[in-house]
Amino acid sequence: MQQQALTQEQAWEIIHQIEEQVHRVVIGQDELVRKILIGLFARIAYSFRRGEEEKAGSGHILLEGVPGLAKTLLISAIANTIHARFQRIQFTPDMLPADILGTRIFDSRMAEFRVEKGPIFANIVLADEINRAPQKTQSALLEAMQERQVTIGEHTFPLEDPFWVLATQNPVEQEGVFSLPEAQLDRFAMMLRVHYPTPEHEFNMLAASLEKAQVDSVAAPQTVVQIRQMASQVHVDDKVRRYIVALGQATRTSNQDALPIVHEMVQHGASPRSYQHLLALSRAVAFFRGRDYVLPSDVKYISVDAIHHRLVRTIRAEVENIGSDEIVDEVLRHTTIP
């Protein structure tokens, strides 16, 4: 049975209800919640069309912050607002790829192997403390995040839409963490840094009764797909597309006109995949702002979050403590706005 089409007003009301439900348990962090939802409703193409099925999905998000900033609580709250299958995977140093994807098990009664599916087979997956596991285990997510499918032995299983990965990680300065491979980072549409709350918000946390709070489901999986489709219809002028390309080009040392900070501090710049992610995210930003067209200000708003984790810094940048955020900010300041 096909779900009735939503109007824009109904879509915005559902987005507002999701934010309202989340703020029952998460005090403050308004902009962080909004950016996570922008990732959810950004429609990113990941492959060419095969038959009747379009190959597009939501933008995966990586949250980085020190322990105790309610990253896991925030993601769990957002997941609970959507009536979909949710799986939380706690990454540990001894975890194997099969613990995420599943494996083949020999069935003695049937005298044959059968596939036991892992927790990756869900609509929303929380990869908690993803950088606590070694890179071999992290690589188990690569196919699922990009192709929206999982291969176990000779069997390939498509993942249901929406399929959305939200991961948390501790800063690399923390004990017992592994760095994420560049191929893994590039599959995240955004990396959002979680900062300490304001003193007023921290006071309100102490006054609140978290154990009495309740988060209700206000959207179905098909509703997410519909709103995502609506956001993808936002018009993008060719001048804005060229602006996105110019931003990406400006992060690469191969570009003769690159800024000195890029030549000295960047080893590898933004990938072509980042253009697709930034375009889809900019459309979602414009949709959230009530427009049916993208402005350069929409691109600028989300650019740092969409690009900074894709830059591979030089050793000099690490020694001089020049962060990727600072590099992207400098690129944004010097790139001509159409």
What are the two backbone dihedrals, phi and then psi, of residue 177, each rounded to the nearest 5 degrees?
Answer: -120, 155
Q: Is the dihedral of CA 189, 38, 250, 241 positive or negative?
A: positive
Architecture of domain 234-334: Orthogonal Bundle (1.10)
Average pLDDT of the residues in 137-146: 92
Q: What is the pLDDT of residue 156?
A: 92
Q: For the purposes of burial, counting CB atoms within 10 Å of the CB of 328, is it exposed (0-12), middle (13-18) or buried (19 or more)?
A: buried
Q: What is the pLDDT of residue 209?
A: 83
221-232 and 272-288 helices, crossing angle to 10°: 100
How far out from the chain centre does Cα 253 lie?
A: 26
Confidence of residue 181 (pLDDT cuts 50, 70, 90): confident
- Of 177, 193, 67, 183, the closest CA to residue 131 belongs to 177
Confidence of residue 1 (pLDDT cuts 50, 70, 90): very low
d(CA 165, CA 36): 11
Weakest mean pLDDT among 1-15, 122-136, 219-233: 1-15
Q: Which stretches within 150-220 are classed as H helix?
A: 182-185, 199-207
What are the two backbone dihedrals, phi and then psi, of residue 184, each rounded to the nearest 5 degrees?
Answer: -70, -45
The DSSP letter of residue 97 is T
Q: How far lies 239's CA from each of 103, 236, 242, 272, in Å?
A: 48, 8, 5, 17
Q: What is the pLDDT of residue 300?
A: 97
CATH of 8-228, one of 3.40.225.10, 3.40.630.30, 3.40.50.300, 3.40.50.880: 3.40.50.300
pLDDT digits (tens, 9 = 90+) for 200-212: 999 998 988 888 8
Percent of the chain clearing pLDDT 90 (strictly above) = 77
Return the higher-pLDDT residue of 323 and 110: 323
pLDDT digits (tens, 9 = 90+) for 54-82: 788 999 999 999 888 989 999 999 999 99
Mean of the per-residue pLDDT values for the chain?
92
pLDDT digits (tens, 9 = 90+) for 274-304: 999 999 999 999 999 999 999 999 999 999 9
Give the start-to-end residue ranges of the domains of the chain. 8-228, 234-334
Q: What is the pLDDT of residue 173?
A: 62
How far out from the chain centre does Cα 178 lie?
A: 19
The DSSP letter of residue 134 is -
pLDDT digits (tens, 9 = 90+) for 224-279: 999 999 999 999 999 999 999 999 999 998 888 889 999 999 999 999 999 999 99
CB 22 within 8 A of CB 77: yes
Q: What is the pLDDT of residue 256?
A: 84
Question: What is the pTM (predicted TM-score) of this model?
Answer: 0.92
Q: Is the dihedral of CA 257, 261, 263, 267 positive or negative?
A: negative
Percent of the chain clearing pLDDT 70 (strictly above) = 96
d(CA 13, CA 11): 5
